[in-house]
Chain A
Amino acid sequence: MTIKYDNVYLNETATITGPIEAKGPLGNLFDKSYDSFYIESKSWEQSEIHLLEKSVEVLLGKIKKSRFDIDLHISGELLNQLVATNYAGSRLGIPLLGIYSACATSTEGLIIGANMISAKQVNNCICSASSHNNGAEKQFRYPVEYGGPKPDTASFTTTGSASAFLSKNKKGIKIESGTIGIAVDMGLKDANNMGAIMAAAAGDTIYRHLSDTKREVNYYDLILTGDLGKYGKQILIDYMRIEYGIILNNYNDTGTMIYDLENQDVHAGGSGPACAPLVTYSFIFNKMKNKELTKVLLVATGSLQSVVTVNQKMTIPSIAHAVSLEALS
């Protein structure tokens, strides 16, 4: 399901991160980085609320608008009952839509926002996604201070929040189209290998996007998946070649870009709803504004398990939503 947009632009972005991202290769591109996992509070959940709130505040400062000028805020994250989104929303006072597609939340938000702007239902909106490493570890895995070994395929949830301002004004980059993905279940159960789980959804969505728009893969300067990590990245390359006969040359994964995989202890790479937008809204957004990249397909990927379904030994489905971004001519 691919939707073309008329006059929807991603005008401005704001990226806020935690300490590990700041030490990564893109560290100096983020708007603000905190040097602790505790941000203005003594709990990780409250820190994530603050991260999200801060990214919207920084964004409003950059576009010189107040919260009363914003028609809609679309946001999502990993915490149960979307507490970061909802609590930050209660402080921000902007009409709020909370959404969940795990780590594909950012592109789901962009698609919803772009649809509503394209349909002239709203004039503008802010799309956010956030995650907190320790908050996610606590909810999905083991206590943070527990040092039990993790497999190399495990990923490291990013700490941060990224927000984007969308409107009809021709500024920044263009959101050309969006493809809503299908939840795919390839029968995998290992929650410590989400790259393998999500590569199937990424492949499916990329293929659907290309066939819906009748484009070749080389139409894009860069195809960017969300958080497959270094093993998931290879799985996607093999999967695209074997299943669809598509050779991915111009391809990268934000999970492998946000950290220094050699020197930072992040296993297979970054993950979390904030991972894809943190890289896209800083590094990629700058490159597109400078026209170093003109056409980018962002495919954020989400692994859709809960602790309960994993304990019940259910197979894990995944989803990927794609957004086609174009530099302004």
Chain B
Amino acid sequence: MEKIRYKEIVDKNAPKSVRFKNGVRAFLIGGFVGMLGDFLMQLYAYLFHIPTKEASVFMIITLIFFGCLFTALGFFDNFVKYAKAGLIIPITGFAHATMSATLEYAREGLVTGIGANMLKLSGSVIIFGVISAYFFGLVRLIFFGG
């Protein structure tokens, strides 16, 4: 059988995609995480009398901490499975990806296991985040003078 005809059979039997439902769910939960972040930011700014710019750093640390803690406690993967992009796109997704890789390789030792593998999933985010920040900064410098 030609590959194209075989692919037709495969496509015919493919499960129906539930993108709309997943999209709505991710939108709502992602939005809630954003709201939570903003709430924390305002709370820290109010409690510690600091500008919101500094409070946002504490907010990010809080979200990362709980993303990591819940991953290590073993139930955050179920949350992510349910919320999908709603928890993957916010900083919680980065924390979850890093922590889950860390747990995975803990048996292989500190250097050859955790150190070498903890950024297995999230390493690309850092690399391409830094590269795009560099280009974005360059564009800003050239067109808007920094």
**Chain A residues in contact with chain B, CB under 8 A?**
42-43, 138, 142-149, 151-153, 186-188, 193, 196, 199-200, 231, 234-235, 238-239, 242-243
Whether the pair A200, B6 counts as a contact (CB closer than 8 A) is: yes
Beta-carbon contacts under 8 Å, B68-108 to A: 71, 74, 76-81, 84, 87-88, 96-97, 99-101, 103-104, 107
Cα distance A144–B106 when bound, in Å? 13
Whether the pair B10, A196 counts as a contact (CB closer than 8 A) is: yes
Identify A234's interface contact among B13, B103, B121, CB under 8 A. Answer: B13
The listed residue with most B CB atoms (<10 A of its CB), out of A43, A143, A234, is A143
Count: A-B pairs, CB below 8 Å = 83
Q: Given A43-B107, A145-B74, A146-B96, does the pair A188, B7 have CB atoms closer than 8 Å?
A: yes
Identify B81's interface contact among A149, A151, A193, A238, CB under 8 A. Answer: A149
Nearest opposing residue in chain B for A242, CB measure: B9
Question: Per DSSP, are chain B's interface residues mostly helix, strand or loop, or mixed?
Answer: helix
Q: Given A143-B103, A144-B104, A200-B6, does the pair A239, B1 have CB atoms closer than 8 Å?
A: yes
Q: Known pairs A149-B80, A152-B15, A186-B7. 16 more at Cβ < 8 A?
A: A142-B121, A143-B103, A143-B104, A144-B104, A145-B100, A145-B103, A146-B97, A148-B97, A149-B81, A151-B15, A187-B6, A187-B7, A188-B10, A200-B6, A231-B15, A242-B5
Q: Given A187-B3, A187-B7, does the pair A147, B14 have CB atoms closer than 8 Å?
A: no
Q: How far is the CB of B112 from chain A (nearest CB, A)?
A: 14
Identify A186's interface contact among B3, B14, B107, CB under 8 A. Answer: B3
Cα distance A263–B48 when bound, in Å? 49
- Asked if B53 CB lies within 8 Å of chain A CBs, one says no
